[in-house]
Structure 1
């Protein structure tokens, strides 16, 4: 369902504010808790953070494909396979945070200048079917919020298990 102007503006604001929110959540986690996993098959705070960096770089391409290409195809990926393949625990968290901030700032600037008709563009997602610019904004407008909350849940669980 397409956004009205107020909803779109709200999601654009959330999109732009996401990196600061994620950074604050990350900085709350003590070093010894950053690679702790809350359970089998669940991600550590570091894995969540590095996933966000990978996701943001791909998201920036996805919106550009939607806006510029005729009949764009948005290809899904297996985020768990990426976490394993790219050894997220070996990645540099500060570099990831810097990347997320830069990619979001660059994309937010581009989005701010879009004409209204750009928000009517549609493509196809390999996993979910029809996929438009508002679908993209809905997903990525809340993406870092969701993962900041996940990092905080990990911290709460870690503290409970370590008597803090």
Structure 2
């Protein structure tokens, strides 16, 4: 990946919180804890998941760059949602966490050297894992969850649920 490609991904990464927040804002309050299907996340759960994922990502890039052959620990997002009862956690705090974590990480990404971008470790679920792998993953992460939120809203509307 060259520096121009990285910059596009860094910009996408930095823009993610605003896109997610806008999608959540479009979800009527009455439907934010509604699940379109059993086993699928509600809008609320997506937001809280993103906070957990982003706080993990915050540490992951730092370990990859600062530690030799860092071990990146995977986790079970569905298990976390159950264990931590995501519907009982505050959505607004989760969205603010996502925003803060990314605002804190973008300046680091923009200052990373070619050597930093080549940093590698081992992910417990996927094996070899580089800083560029991290960037590809997390640049897409909030984009994917923004689409997921929009899909839940569309499913709510298709099910004949009331509009705000």
Q: TM-score, normalised by structure 1?
A: 0.96
The DSSP-based 3-state class of the residue aligned with 1:38 is: coil
The DSSP-based 3-state class of the residue aligned with 2:7 is: helix
How far, CA to CA, are the matches of 2:79 and 2:93 in structure 1?
21
CA displacement, residues 128-150 of structure 1 (integer Å, 9 cap, x when unaligned)? 01000000000000100100100
- One of 114, 117, 121 as aligned partner of 1:116: 114
RMSD: 0.9
Q: TM-score, normalised by structure 2?
A: 0.96
How far, CA to CA, are the matches of 1:89 and 1:162 in structure 2?
23
1:115 positional shift: 1.6
Indicate whether 1:103 and 2:101 are aligned: yes
1:30 positional shift: 0.4
**Structure 1: gaps (5+ residues):** none
How far, CA to CA, are the matches of 1:66 and 1:95 in structure 2?
27
1:123 positional shift: 0.4
Q: What residue is the counterpart of 1:69 in the other structure?
A: 67
**Structure 2: gaps (5+ residues):** none
Q: What residue is the counterpart of 1:154 in the other structure?
A: 152
Q: Which runs of 4+ in 1 moved over 6 A?
A: none
The DSSP-based 3-state class of the residue aligned with 2:122 is: strand
What is the aligned residue count?
162
1:86 positional shift: 0.5
